[in-house]
Structure 1
Amino acid sequence: MKAVLQRVSKASVTIEGEISAKIGNGLLILLGIEEADTQDDIEWLCRKIINMRIFGDENNAMNNSLKDVDGDAIVVSQFTLHASTKKGNRPSFIKAAKPDFAEPMYEKFVAHFEKEFGKKIGTGEFGADMKVELLNDGPVTILIDSKEKS
């Protein structure tokens, strides 16, 4: 399971002209799921994201977590995080999980994140054509891969 965290001043997701999620200060999380992912990956990644100290403290040093700053979050499923670009110029998405596996894992991730975080988060819509807008704060962008946790 891969996640791209973007610390944002604001972010939104629009589907078919309607805003489905909108936040101020917080994280926009792009989530890529592969067939090898498990509940353990969900739990580890949620815990890691929620406690990642990437928000400024009173001295503007990155010492605060999403919880510490009472930030918000949006999670958007993005299979393209598992693109392989080794051969040719057309990416291969063979490592990305098929929708019948990925969608329930995405829903489990969102549910577990909300449980651990203690409040509702915004989401995109699995498989939809989404327009994602953000104002990256910093900029701060972090890539986390649950397969590299050891």
Structure 2
Amino acid sequence: MRAVVQRVSEASVRVAGEVVGAIEGPGLAVLVGVTHDDTPAKAAQLARKLWSLRLFEGEVGEPGTEQSCSDFGGPLLVISQFTLYGDARKGRRPTWSAAAPGPVAEPLVEVVVAELRGLGAKVETGRFGADMKVALVNDGPFTVVLEI
């Protein structure tokens, strides 16, 4: 699994003009891509990593006080993104062959969300397979790519 994680002060996703998921920060906007050999165990591992990843400043001027969403109840907006497995190394048109098909990917993204919620996270989502419009304010800017 691959995730692009952005520390945000706010984020939302719209489908056909309707807000289907939104968070007020500080929190994380997470784009999740699934490949063919991903498993529910990997999805659960990604969720635990997202919940405990120390990307937020703690007390100003106090070194070593970085915090994770789990430390302060930071919300997460999780959005499926098959294009994270796009490959544009050859030619000008990306291929998507490394991305898992919807029937494989959707349940695994749902495992990430369910596991996060089980850990106590407030999680909002996009709508799998929909034409989504994502808006966010990247705090920093701060972006990390995770591979599980």
Q: TM-score, normalised by structure 2?
A: 0.93
Secondary structure at the counterpart of residue 51 of structure 2: helix
Matched, 1:65 2:68: yes
**Structure 1 runs, 4 residues or longer, greater than 3 Å off:** none
Matches within 5 A, 1:1-150: 1-25=1-25, 26-59=27-60, 63-116=66-119, 118-146=120-148
RMSD: 1.2
Q: CA deviation at 1:119?
A: 3.5
Q: Aligned equivalents of 1:104 and 1:46: distance in 2?
A: 14
Percent of aligned pairs with the same amino acid = 43
The answer (yes or no) to whether the contact 1:4–1:29 under 8 Å persists in 2 is: yes
Q: CA deviation at 1:43?
A: 1.7
Q: Which deviations, in whole Å up to 9, do the C-alpha atoms of 1:80-119 show, x marking residues without a partner?
A: 0001111101001100001111111111221112112x14
The answer (yes or no) to whether the contact 1:8–1:135 under 8 Å persists in 2 is: yes
Q: Which sections of structure 1, spanning at least 5 residues, go unmatched? A: none
Q: CA deviation at 1:120?
A: 3.6
Q: CA deviation at 1:69?
A: 2.5
